[in-house]
Amino acid sequence: MAETKTTNKQPKILSAMHKLMASLKSLPKNRTAPAGRGGRTFSYRGIDDLLDALHPLLVEHKILVLPKCLSRDWQFEAQAGHPWEMAVTMQYVFKSTEDGSEVSVEAPGMGADSNDKCSGKAATSAFKTAMYQTFCVPVSDTSIDSEAYPDPAPSRAEPPDLQKAKDNLVALVKSEAATHGLNDFSDENTIGLIRAAAAAHGFSLPLKTLEECDKVAVVINEMDWQKIKEKEGANVAA
């Protein structure tokens, strides 16, 4: 929550912050983080890029940024990598050097490290969050999240003939069931029979090739439907 404190009727801090926003250029995500626990890299905007952009504008518009740690919590995890983790809540006061008026904001931050830098990383995270959100710093012409992770590989739709072969297997089971008096053969039982037929050849669902579908169809045609009917009747009676 932002809080504004003024020492006269026309605080200069608000107009100074507005002028800073008008002068602040976009900051692209031109840095790449090493692969983390999930094995994925991502693009980001570093603290150095932010400070390089903000410092001259803060000086020009006579704004001080005064940090204060409101709370912190740390924990140790006995595992490789970054066992020390810290969460902080920071307050940043933007203060005009002209009239003393000020605006304060709060931001959370988290950091992890294997030695003594987790608190610094947490404070850096909070500072970046506060500055990026307070001044709505754009990321060139792209969405702020568009490069956070690489786009997933495009989904590969099944070839029409493979999908048709699978549909034919379902129709085959339904037809055989109706022929043997099982007119209300459920979809669950249909898939169960197809799965059992696939397992007879060491396959698992979903079937991946037309050859697998053909072999499953042969097994379905050779099934003892009288036993299946008897089993179905027993299930209904139960």
Assess whether 190 and 88 both reside in one domain. no
Assess whether 118 and 170 both reside in one domain. no
Assess whether 130 and 225 both reside in one domain. no
Exposed/middle/buried for residue 185 (C-beta within 10 Å: 0-12, 13-18, 19+):
buried
Assess whether 51 and 127 both reside in one domain. yes
Q: What is the total count of domains within the chain?
A: 2
Assess whether 186 and 119 both reside in one domain. no
Assess whether 46 and 102 both reside in one domain. yes
Assess whether 36 and 81 both reside in one domain. yes
Assess whether 164 and 129 both reside in one domain. no
Digits of tens for pLDDT over the chain (238 positions)?
566 565 456 799 999 999 999 998 888 777 777 755 555 666 778 888 899 999 999 999 999 999 999 998 877 654 545 567 889 999 999 999 999 999 999 999 998 877 778 888 999 999 999 999 999 988 764 444 444 444 444 545 557 788 888 888 888 888 888 888 877 777 778 888 888 888 888 888 888 888 888 888 888 888 887 887 777 654 434 4
- Residue 221 structural domain: 160-237
Assess whether 93 and 188 both reside in one domain. no
Assess whether 52 and 86 both reside in one domain. yes
In-domain check, residue 149: no
Cβ burial 94-109 (10 Å sphere, 16+ → b, else e): bbbeebebbbbbbbeb
Assess whether 187 and 125 both reside in one domain. no
In-domain check, residue 50: yes
Assess whether 127 and 165 both reside in one domain. no
